[in-house]
Chain A
Amino acid sequence: MDEAVKPALRVGLFVTCLVDLMRPSVGFAAVKLLEEAGCKVVVPSQTCCGQPAYNSGDRATAQAIARQTMAAFEDCDAVVAPSGSCAGMLAKHYPELFADEPDMAVKANAFAAKCHELVSFLFDRLGVRKVSARYDGAVAYHDSCSGLRELGVMSQPRKLLASVEGLRLVEMNEADVCCGFGGTFAVKYGELSDAIVRQKSANVAASGADTLLAGDLGCLMNMAGKMQREGRAVKVRHVAEVLAGMTNDPPIGEAATGAKR
């Protein structure tokens, strides 16, 4: 850590359903980064932030899940998620969900104020400026939409990646353009989603990067799935894995080969 020692923040890890279910190693990478930055990390029993229901127009379910989530993390000083879209849901949309209920609105606003996306929390709140990880490769970073536009996550991951030894950051074209995931959109409008992710895949290829990183597992699974279908050999990981120096697990969508990094 670069900053003077702070009292240990009690940080509730909002692991997110995709990380919880599909790629727990991202959660462990997040824990490592937070603990190295001096936080006490707890993981309350949790399910989902409610965004799938919210974006599908089911406000009632979204509200029920939100109440549950806020209760679960009540005694945390901060709530940190390795996902711009889930963090955005907690920090920006929970207050909107309860805009018509004054009592809940107050609670939701207070809750929202303590919710953060992982990398911006490390950089902006905890003052982390470099990591001690090592990664050999040319890395393109994709700006996930919610993280970028709702939470202002853009320079922080790039600055931290720049401190990773051996890592060469390459900027791809249209890094800030949507990958076409959009939650249920990818399934409901599969052909349209495919057209958008094909463009993203082409941009990754054109950048010459051998590795693609982002802060949202949904985007990453979408981009990895497309590139793998197209036969492109790009390693896809969550940015937390690289920053935490935890890249022993296979990249997204790849099987264990037995060869360790």
Chain B
Amino acid sequence: MQHVATLEAGEDRTMVLNMGPQHPSTHGVLRLLLEIDGETIVKIVPDIGFLHTGIEKTYEAKFYQQCIPLADRMDYLAPFSNELGFCLAVEKLLGLDIPKRAVWMRVLLTELTRINSHLVWLGTHAMDIGAMTVFLYCFREREELLKIFEAIGGQRMFTSYFRVGGLAMEAPLDWFARTKKFIDGFPEKIDEYEGLLTGNPIWQARTKGVAQISAEDVIKLGGSGPILRASGVDFDLRRDMPYCGYENFQFKVPTHKDGDVWARYQVRVAELRESQKICKQALEGMPEGSIRADAPKIVLPDREKMKTQMEALIYHFKIVTEGFTVPPGEVYQAIESPRGEIGFYVVSNGTAQPYRVHVRAPSFANLALLPAMCEGKLIADVVAAIGSIDIVLGDVDR
């Protein structure tokens, strides 16, 4: 097996430099081929696929409920976003309505996952540029978040907590109090990060005017999410094409007009603050009621009912062994993941297994912006540019 992406050096002054795949600042296994003229980049060719696991192919051999853990493993920094996208797509195919409490819980967890993902981004991005301390601060809060995820889903990263038709189980007893404590204390923590970076002249020098890209180019190249907003396009799927009850929450969509690394930093930090507000609203307005839709053929029954009611036991057996069938059709469900638009294109042929699932991975599309950002600029800024795109290679390669 070989990846033979090659790049020939030009005739006179240029040379080719190989960066990665094992390079800490590539955030995974990204290989870059850089043609350089002194310190200036002439051409940049990303080489990807080192983490390709064929998840889309595996989906075709799984029941719908078995697809959810696999969704986690694509964008492993934002598992709830992936689960939400997949569940919403299948629910759209089924025409299933979800109880309000489950919707609120989903919003809460998806926003917590956005905070989690942005914290990893901020910590590693700052470390790439040379600010070591921020990493320790960010991972302090991320650790608490992972414990919160573990308490509710049983796992720190691959939670597999959402289900088609609702959620796996009710949150444990002190979970809301613990989450509320975290959320209430979080704005101060953001101030700490900003205190370390925003006014820091080195940070500004390394980010302002670096890897600039115009809104027009971002749209043409298919970039989405914070990158699009940092170039001045005021568009957020949560507000503009609401899904999963986001229309019930008040939040601002931060934008910036500069389109450089600094702008993307500002937008993501502002998003941390907005996500905190959404979490707060979700916790305060959390409705009572069921967390599962009333659809016995799709949603697993309560454990208690299984012990006393024969129908519940039969449904449980049928769902686990045969899955549930989904009416034929196709949907494209896009949601705003921390990295941009993640879209699930699900095609059903009426059986219990999806005929085809395609994932529009935001990192994959956003990586295409890298050459446009870096060519003609300095080699030292490549690391800053990669960090500011915030790619997850699991998401790029799937």
A and B co-occur in one complex: no
